[in-house]
Amino acid sequence: MDEKRDIWKSRKGFILASIGAAVGLGNLWRFPFQAYKNGGGAFFFPYIIALFTCAIPLMILEYTLGRKIKGGSTKAFKSLGKKYEWIGWMQVMIPVVVMMFYSTIISIAVIFMFWSLGHAFGIINWMSNPGELMGMIVGGGSGPFDFSAGISKYLLGFVILVWLSNWAIVKNGISHGIEKCSNIFTPLLMFMMVVFMINSLRLTGSKIGLNALFTPDFSKILNPNIWIAAYAQVFFSTTLAVGVMIAYGSYIHDDWDIVNSSFITVLSNSSFDIIAGITVFSTLGYLVNSTGVEFNSFGDGAGIAFIAFPIAISTMTSNIFLQGLIGFLFFFCLFIAGLSSSISMLESFATAALDKFKIERKKLITIISLIGFLGSTCFATYAGFNYILDIVDSYVANYVIATLGLIETVLVCYIYGVENIRNEANKFSDFKVGKWFNFLLKYVTPFILGITVISNFIKGINDFSTYTFSKLMAELVFGWGTVLLMGIFATILFKRKWENKSTNKGRD
DSSP letters spanning 18-53: HHHHH--HHHHHHHHHHHHHTTGGGGHHHHHHHIII
CA nearest neighbour of 91 among 494, 480, 500 = 494
CA nearest neighbour of 196 among 93, 295, 308, 103 = 308
Residue 303's pLDDT is what?
Answer: 75
Domain of 343 in residue numbering reads as 11-499
- Evaluate whether residue 4 is within a structural domain: no
- Evaluate whether residue 465 is within a structural domain: yes
- Evaluate whether residue 130 is within a structural domain: yes
Residue 3's pLDDT is what?
Answer: 43
Residue 235's pLDDT is what?
Answer: 83
- Evaluate whether residue 507 is within a structural domain: no
Beta-carbon count within 10 A of 219 CB:
9
Q: Is 151 helix (H, G, I), strand (E, B) or coil?
A: strand
Q: To the nearest whole percent, how much of the chain has pLDDT over 70?
A: 98
User: Residue 346 — φ and ψ, nearest 5°?
Assistant: -65, -40
- For the chain, give the mean pLDDT: 92
Q: Dihedral of the CA atoms 350, 351, 356, 361 (nearest 10)?
A: 60
Per-residue pLDDT of 22-57, as tens digits, reads 998 888 878 898 888 888 899 999 999 999 999 999
Separation of CA 465 from chain center: 30
- Evaluate whether residue 285 is within a structural domain: yes
* Contact by Cβ (8 Å): 376, 100: yes
Residue 21's pLDDT is what?
Answer: 95
Sites in the chain below the pLDDT cut of 50:
1-3, 506-508
Q: Alpha-carbon distance 301 to 31, whole Å?
A: 10
Q: Alpha-carbon distance 315 to 466, whole Å?
A: 43
* Contact by Cβ (8 Å): 421, 441: yes
Residue 1's pLDDT is what?
Answer: 39
Q: Which helix (H) or strand (E) holds 375?
A: helix 361-379
Residue 94's pLDDT is what?
Answer: 96
CA nearest neighbour of 110 among 328, 408, 294, 270 = 328
Q: What's the Cα-to-Cα distance from 83 to each of 179, 348, 491, 508, rounded to whole Å?
A: 33, 20, 11, 8
Residue 233's pLDDT is what?
Answer: 87
Amino acid at 294: E
CA nearest neighbour of 62 among 23, 101, 96, 92 = 92
- Evaluate whether residue 338 is within a structural domain: yes
Q: Rounded to two decimals, what is the model's pTM?
A: 0.93
Q: What's the Cα-to-Cα distance from 68 to each of 404, 422, 431, 465, rounded to whole Å?
A: 20, 12, 19, 47
Q: To the nearest whole percent, how much of the chain has pLDDT over 90?
A: 77
Q: What's the Cα-to-Cα distance from 102 to each of 330, 394, 473, rounded to whole Å?
A: 18, 13, 23
- Evaluate whether residue 506 is within a structural domain: no
Q: Is 359 helix (H, G, I), strand (E, B) or coil?
A: coil
Q: Is 381 helix (H, G, I), strand (E, B) or coil?
A: strand
DSSP letter at 297 equals T
Nearby residues of 401 by Cβ (< 8 Å), 6 or more positions away? 94, 235, 236, 241, 242
Beta-carbon count within 10 A of 506 CB:
19
Q: State the angle between helix axes of 258-291 and 224-237 in degrees (0 to 180), rounded to the nearest 10.
A: 110
Characterise 417 by phi-psi region: left (phi > 0), alpha (psi -120 to 50), beta (else): left
Residue 2's pLDDT is what?
Answer: 44
- Evaluate whether residue 77 is within a structural domain: yes
Q: Alpha-carbon distance 76 to 167, whole Å?
A: 25
Q: Alpha-carbon distance 344 to 247, whole Å?
A: 9
- Whether the CA torsion 87, 92, 96, 97 is positive or negative: it is positive
Q: Alpha-carbon distance 400 to 237, whole Å?
A: 15
Burial group, residue 295, by CB count within 10 angstroms (0-12, 13-18, 19+): buried
* Contact by Cβ (8 Å): 262, 65: no
Residues paired with residue 381 on neighbouring β-strands, in sequence order: 151
CATH number of the structural domain spanning residue 442: 1.20.1740
Structurally, the chain folds into a number of domains equal to: 1
